[in-house]
Amino acid sequence: MFIHKITDSIDYVGVNDRTTELFEGLWPLPYGISYNSYIVKGSEKIALIDTVELGHTREFMESLRLQGIDKIDYLIINHMEPDHSGGIPLVVTAFPDIKIVGNKKTIDMIKGFYHLMNDYLYVEVAENQTIDLGNISLKFIMTPMLHWPETMMTYCEEEKLIFTGDAFGCYGALNGGVVDDSMECSLYINEMYRYYSNIVAKYGKFVLSALKKLSSVEIEYLCPTHGPVWHSRLAEVLEITRRLASYEGEDGVTIIYGSMYGNTAEMAELFAISLSRRGIKNIRVHNASKSSLSEMLADALRYKGLIIGSPTYNTEIYPPVSHLVSAIRARDMKNKIVASFGGYTWAPGATKKIADNLEAMNFQDAGSVIMKQSLTEEVENNISEVAEKFCALFNS
């Protein structure tokens, strides 16, 4: 039997999902995803940290059986979203003497989702309470709204290791290894931007509060519920998370456009060329009808420049662009330098609606370019002018 050891006392018992197409029914999983669970073996007691998604409980229970585990004292629930809590009923059935450990909100949610109503099942914990496993202990740190209200983390001081729920997680199934020391991690780092922007981005201020709490404890391992355990790249992962949570954009510009017949697309190309000629090197262009919302959000959040274009469609913003704009607003993105553009045939409207949305978010606006029907020299000049102003703001 192969055991994924993280430290002397802690083993990985998560599972891979390589079949689900869309996480939460929304977000593409080209490289799959892992649902991470961990076993903490103290000298006197054993704790299981989180479970897995319902459809993967067979492998999960098999993994516990193969480890020869016939008794678990505590099931710690750091996060109740069903991709982690789906295995709770099965674990309770398999280990009838187990106690479920969570905060008040967690316990209410377990009762609501899984109808496990007997109070004797539960140990309710609050900030900084601990559970003793013998030679090691687990301390609970409340980190609400990462990205649900009940979310908490579980810290093992003796191993300098923390179980973080979705925080520091990423898409991507694990390909043999579990700890980053033994893996090439560039795929997971890229997928972390996509995961964070899709799932967590609205809650930046809560992420920053959690990071502040974590700064007061000694940590060598971050054990999230998705993706690798972070050890050698821990500092880098903390820094990426801090930057994203602060809405601190990296050097780069995302251009996102919609286009039915190629006219607004020509404007997007001209914007990209105008920025490139003014020295901007990192430019990501997305056709909103082709790129996934997931990828577009990742780039929109990651980079400090954002330019959005759309033709007018039924007097509104073209639907895939409209979806993107509302997803950006829903995430409360901040600190962007922006511009907008778009074409129309007989009724202008989309560009102004994009600009109004960007203005409502208090971004620094370099201006808009509106084009009637097709590209003209005047439109080209207007794009050049807005690009000039955009670059001045970008480089200031």
Residue from 166, 180, 266, 295 binding ligand FEO (CB under 6 A): 166
**Residue 36 interacting with ligand FEO (CB under 6 A):** no
Give the nearest distance from C-beta 239 to ligand FEO in angstroms. 22
Give the nearest distance from C-beta 147 to ligand FEO in angstroms. 6
Considering beta carbons, is residue 224 or 320 the nearer one to ligand FEO?
Answer: 224
Considering beta carbons, is residue 79 or 233 the nearer one to ligand FEO?
Answer: 79
Write the interaction track for ligand FEO spanning residues 43-82; mark x where CB under 6 A is met and - where it is not: ------------------------------------x-x-
Give the nearest distance from C-beta 50 to ligand FEO in angstroms. 9
Q: What part of residues 93-152 is at the interface with ligand FEO (CB under 6 A)?
A: 147
Q: What part of residues 307-336 is at the interface with ligand FEO (CB under 6 A)?
A: none
Residue from 83, 266, 299, 365 binding ligand FEO (CB under 6 A): 83
* Beta bridge mates, 308: 256, 340
Closest to 280 in 3D by CA, of 366, 198, 206, 158: 366
H helix or E strand, kind and range, residue 242: helix 234-245
Give the nearest distance from C-beta 314 to ligand FEO in angstroms. 35
* Residues 261, 264: Cα–Cα separation, whole Å: 8
Considering beta carbons, is residue 84 or 194 the nearer one to ligand FEO?
Answer: 84
Considering beta carbons, is residue 78 or 291 the nearer one to ligand FEO?
Answer: 78
Asked if omega into 147 is within 30° of 0 (cis), the reply is yes
DSSP letter string over 317-381? E-HHHHHHHHHHHHTT--S-EEEEEEEESS---HHHHHHHHHHHTT-EEEEEEEEESS--HHHHH
Q: What part of residues 221-280 is at the interface with ligand FEO (CB under 6 A)?
A: 225-226
Name the CA radius of gyration of the chain, rounded: 24
The site for ligand FEO, by CB under 6 A, has a size of: 8
Residue type, 336: K
Considering beta carbons, is residue 80 or 91 the nearer one to ligand FEO?
Answer: 80
Residue type, 11: D
- Torsion (CA) 227, 237, 241, 28 in degrees, nearest 10: -30
Neighbours of 256 (CB within 10 A): 26
Considering beta carbons, is residue 113 or 289 the nearer one to ligand FEO?
Answer: 113
Distances (CA, A) of 227 to 149, 169, 191: 22, 6, 9
Considering beta carbons, is residue 24 or 356 the nearer one to ligand FEO?
Answer: 24
Closest to 51 in 3D by CA, of 8, 93, 20: 93
- CB closest to ligand FEO, residue no: 81
Considering beta carbons, is residue 53 or 365 the nearer one to ligand FEO?
Answer: 53
Give the nearest distance from C-beta 339 to ligand FEO in angstroms. 34
Look at residue 273 and give its three-state secondary structure: helix
Give the nearest distance from C-beta 151 to ligand FEO in angstroms. 8
Where do contacts with ligand FEO occur on this chain (CB under 6 A)?
79, 81, 83-84, 147, 166, 225-226
